Structure 1
Amino acid sequence: MKKILLYSTLLGALLFFNSCNEDELNLTSPNDLPADQFWKSPTDAEKGVNAIYAMFYKDGLWARWMYFRMDLTSDEGFSKSPWAELADWTRFNYVNYNFWEGNSVTFRDSYKAIFRCNQVLTNVPDIEFTDAARKESILAEAKFMRAVHYFYAAELWENIPLVLEPSEPTDRPAQNTKEEVFAQVEKDLNEAFAALPLSWDINNTGRPTKGAAKGFLAKLYMQQHRWNDAKLAMDFLISGEGAQYSLVSNYKDNFTAANENNTESVFEIQFSGERLGGTGEDANAAMSNSRQQFFAPRSIGWSDGQARNWLIGAFKEEPNQNGGIDERLRHTLFYPQLQADFGDLTYGRTWQWGTDEAWFRKGARDYYRNNEDYYAEVNYRLVRYADILLMYAEALNELGQTADAYQYVDMVRTRAKMVSLATAHPEIGNNHDSFLARLKKERVLELCGESVRWLDLKRWGDLDTQAAVDVIAQRDPDFNNFIVGKSIRLPLPQSEVDNNPNLTQNHGY
């Protein structure tokens, strides 16, 4: 079965922050099963863990607005949406901290997902299972998912509450540091790894594996500059027990609905166009991705998100083995010269763009239709093996093993029909700084528009000094608004700060 049908059957997912009248929260729906009557059987446990996956389909997370945070805020993307407040939230002009689409809904849905994880982790241990291994894997899935949501929340807001029990409307949780949250992410991922399988059968495609746990541990350690720990996590994927991954021959297969969950996929979100509802909790709620409706060129979608034009030049700096343009460009961006460069305008689309414009192509459905909508079925690869290989090279370089790092970059370049790194750039040698500078470009060429660039900029320290930010601003003028020490994190929604005396607004806001 191509997709797992995930049903959100949990009794109202309460946020732990009190933003409603308590009398309203105490009302009982005659159609919902109270918590004390649920969580009785393994079937309840299955429903509970499946409800966690359903959070991927909410607009505050990976169905829509997360991409505005992860892609457009970085120097790869921007917005010139006529919706000025939305565009401002991609260029560090944060005025209304309660802006729903830019901040509050992602915060809410992150904690809604965490609440569902906490429900499973609190209630499932008391349920009797005849299959003890399945019980443990359900708990492992919940730990993995809690770790994933806390990882991204900590990178976005940094100083957030760490809640590990099902919350109540009257709770006022304490604020934790990013380091404290990351410590819990590490704990959850390690415990999840111990109980997750190496693979699932076809009916459970999309659930996390041991490899997915190690992949996110690698991301976590990389962000913390724990290079040896990151290397050890990736050893499992590259040469250890979990070495079951490889690069697919067709780069495009990572960004369409064809050949999903392939050998390059470490963890991907299972999107589907089978239901055409909204993003609520009703039975017809969508399981789809609306990213491309907002990121597609004018006349195809809303074009609220665009790619920076400098990316096109980056792809054209170095010819491939045949003397032509890096083939990854054609699958990464829409841009005015696409047809001249590759003959790639399909399905009779009417394109409307300026000479200096570009849009993200990954995830688009131009290979079989001439428009986008809110119901894209294309899976989103949160971690793929190419990312692992390039992170591994980065970790080796940081550990003083630059000479050994080349081969992992070359695995990615070879798939793209580029000559070896040493041949193309002999000036790098074994110089740490030169290798890192080149690796930054390699990650753009391979991973552009895949929600990794913001994390990369933070990890590299490129947002920590005014001099470094000034360099970024030369290719992305939105960074002229970036304030060092402040803009590296989002403001907490002000309503959360106002309702919880244990919260302090992030520094500078």
Structure 2
Amino acid sequence: MYKYIFLLLLSAFVSSCENFLTKETITDLPADGFPSNEKDAEGLITGMYDAIQDALETNYFYWGEYRSDAIERNRNNGDLNLFYNTLSPTHATSNWNSLYKIILSANVAIKYIPALNDGDEANKSSMLAEALTARAWMYFYAVRVWGRVPLITEPYENKEGQQLYYPRADLDLVYTQIENDLKQAVNLFGVTAPTSCYRISRGVASAILTDFYMWKKDYSNAILASDYFANTSTNPYAYANSDTWKQIFINPASSKENIFVLYWDYTSDGEQGIVKQIGGGQQSNAQVKISRTVWNKFVNRKEWDPRFALSLDTLHLYNGVGTLDENSYDMINDNMGIADDYCTKWLELDPLTGEYPKIVASDADYEIPFYRYSGIMLLRAEAYARRNEGNDLNEAISIINQIRQRFSTEHNLTGSETQTELIDIIDEERLLELWCEGTRWFDLARRGDLKEVMDQVFINERGIPEGFGDEQYILWPIHQSAFSANPELVGDQNPGYVEG
């Protein structure tokens, strides 16, 4: 039975990650379903990347952005259950199966790759580190979305007496597993430079570890984990400036800002679902648009921050209302003829028209950054600001000024900012830098001010008098299918939700 389950999962894995296009995909593993040589292992890792595509293609946006203050419904489009925080155990985003598909594949790689007798040792070590990082990353997503989750670290091997059903584990146990996996991966990778932003590397493991420590409010360890990016002898990444910032999205492989990018090619991967969420160009049926919060912050910096025009079709918007200020937000949204207030990060400006072309989900190649150098450095700045020991505030200010100097040398911080002011400044920088990249909800949650921020959004923008509601609804419900498949979960739904 276990072998059958594993082979079913494995049969769904095919290669589409650009980094593997030149590699042979393994379709026939040994009869027991586990790798017996380096070639088998490479096929398993290839499949793991494809599973990551499937798991995060749109979920990264649902889980990390959709319910936040960064976006609003586009007219009558958008998922009402997400916008009004009325999630249910039948909602597709409540299903964790796609994450566990990756975890199960990683478990096989983690157990069997070290035992392989053939192949290049450095390559095997790198594949093991990739599997450890992927497993930790998926568990990190899982605990942020659902809280306690089943902790499975062994492959299904059809062994007599092997555990079949797992209850939700204590959160500290899952945290320990995430930390141990990432630290082991970092050691295995060493200081080897990444070969591609489409493949897990030392930078990816260190970025996730930094993010993880920030989630746990372990600021000293977050600083240590991010040392890799601050040390000029090891850091392979660099900030993009005004001229190159757009390359992060339209030509990710050329940008040293990118630590990990999810590759999506329409020809080989099919329709790109995220286009339906954030739109692009003149696609008027996008589900979401920029929120008033982000709009106002961009407008207030429009004279010196090019990310406004690089993230939205500001020329088209300006031509529609004649001005871009805080009042323009209502004017734009009252005018049904103006439909370009969506995220255009992934679109290349047409040099002839000065506008962004129309793009549709049925013909879209999106390459989605998940971790970027500037984002991790802002986490490092926040860790310094929150720890606030010795010279920490100056370290935070230095990083913020580096981020701003990409666009302007006239808007540096003065050094007179208080700790609270610095934390708020960093929050705004991350919001504008990483808008629509699946980070905002998690930032609000780990800061501990999610309900406070979202109360005002729900009251002022979404017309819900009681605001966000009970804080227990920060977590997603567990999908109803999990309870019928796993009796160990029965009676352990997240508070506030039913099991089916």
TM bucket (normalised to shorter chain) is: 0.7 to 0.9
Q: Which residue of 1 aligns with 2:23?
A: none
1:181-260 equivalence runs, <5 A: 181-196=174-189, 198-199=191-192, 206-239=198-231, 241-249=233-241, 250-260=243-253
Specify which of 299, 309, 316 is matched with residue 330 of structure 1.
309
The CA distance in 2 between the partners of 1:35 and 1:387, in whole Å, is 44
Q: Which residue of 2 aligns with 1:485?
A: 471
Contact 1:251 1:416 in 2 (8 A): no
Q: Deviations over 1:38-72 (max 9, x none)?
A: 512211000001111001321xx322233122111
Q: Which residue of 1 aligns with 2:7?
A: 11
Specify which of 121, 125, 136 is matched with residue 132 of structure 1.
121
Which is worse superposed, 141-150 or 125-134?
Answer: 125-134
Q: Which residue of 2 aligns with 1:264?
A: 257
Contact 2:69 2:293 in 1 (8 A): no
Specify which of 444, 448, 463 is matched with residue 435 of structure 2.
448
TM-score of the pair, normalised by structure 2: 0.81
1:50-449 equivalence runs, <5 A: 50-58=46-54, 61-79=55-73, 86-94=79-87, 96-100=88-92, 102-104=93-95, 107-167=96-156, 171-196=164-189, 198-199=191-192, 206-239=198-231, 241-249=233-241, 250-275=243-268, 285-286=269-270, 289-296=272-279, 300=283, 302-318=285-301, 324=303, 326-334=305-313, 337-339=317-319, 353=336, 358-364=341-347, 367=350, 369-400=357-388, 401-417=392-408, 419-423=410-414, 429-449=416-436
The CA distance in 2 between the partners of 1:475 and 1:355, in whole Å, is 23
Q: Deviations over 1:421-472 (max 9, x none)?
A: 325xx7xx242112212222222222211111111101111136xx554345
The CA distance in 2 between the partners of 1:291 and 1:253, in whole Å, is 18
Question: How many residues are matched?
Answer: 449
The CA distance in 2 between the partners of 1:383 and 1:128, in whole Å, is 34
Q: Structure 1 residues 365 and 481 mapped into 2: Cα distance closer, same or farther (>3 Å)?
A: farther
The CA distance in 1 between the partners of 2:401 and 2:434, in whole Å, is 15
Q: Structure 1 residues 197 and 49 mapped into 2: Cα distance closer, same or farther (>3 Å)?
A: farther
Q: Structure 1 residues 174 and 201 mapped into 2: Cα distance closer, same or farther (>3 Å)?
A: closer
Contact 1:113 1:149 in 2 (8 A): yes
Identity of aligned residues (%): 23
Contact 2:194 2:201 in 1 (8 A): no
Deviation of 1:419 (Å): 2.5
Q: Deviations over 1:179-198 (max 9, x none)?
A: 32222111111111111254
State the secondary structure of the residue aligned to 2:371.
strand
Which is worse superposed, 453-462 or 253-262?
Answer: 253-262
The CA distance in 2 between the partners of 1:297 and 1:273, in whole Å, is 16
State the secondary structure of the residue aligned to 2:413.
helix
Q: Which runs of 4+ in 1 moved over 6 A?
A: 354-357
More helix by share: 2
State the secondary structure of the residue aligned to 1:337.
helix
Contact 2:77 2:285 in 1 (8 A): no
Q: Which residue of 1 aligns with 2:482?
A: 496
Contact 1:316 1:326 in 2 (8 A): no
Q: Which runs of 5+ in 1 are unaligned?
A: 1-9, 16-30, 276-284, 343-351
Q: Which runs of 5+ in 2 are unaligned?
A: 1-5, 12-26, 325-334, 351-355
Deviation of 1:381 (Å): 1.2
The CA distance in 1 between the partners of 2:223 and 2:69, in whole Å, is 27
Deviation of 1:271 (Å): 2.6
Q: Structure 1 residues 371 and 493 mapped into 2: Cα distance closer, same or farther (>3 Å)?
A: same
Deviation of 1:481 (Å): 5.1
The CA distance in 2 between the partners of 1:263 and 1:408, in whole Å, is 17
Q: Which residue of 2 aligns with 1:6?
A: none
Q: Structure 1 residues 376 and 198 mapped into 2: Cα distance closer, same or farther (>3 Å)?
A: farther
Specify which of 25, 44, 48 is matched with residue 48 of structure 1.
44
The CA distance in 1 between the partners of 2:340 and 2:272, in whole Å, is 24
Letter in structure 2 aligned against 1:500: N
Which is worse superposed, 212-221 or 468-477?
Answer: 468-477
State the secondary structure of the residue aligned to 2:472.
coil
Q: Structure 1 residues 303 and 130 mapped into 2: Cα distance closer, same or farther (>3 Å)?
A: closer
The CA distance in 1 between the partners of 2:429 and 2:36, in whole Å, is 51
Contact 2:317 2:340 in 1 (8 A): no
Contact 1:92 1:478 in 2 (8 A): no
Deviation of 1:390 (Å): 1.2
Q: Structure 1 residues 507 and 47 mapped into 2: Cα distance closer, same or farther (>3 Å)?
A: same
Is residue 470 of structure 1 aligned with residue 455 of structure 2? Answer: yes
The CA distance in 2 between the partners of 1:35 and 1:374, in whole Å, is 38
State the secondary structure of the residue aligned to 1:266.
strand
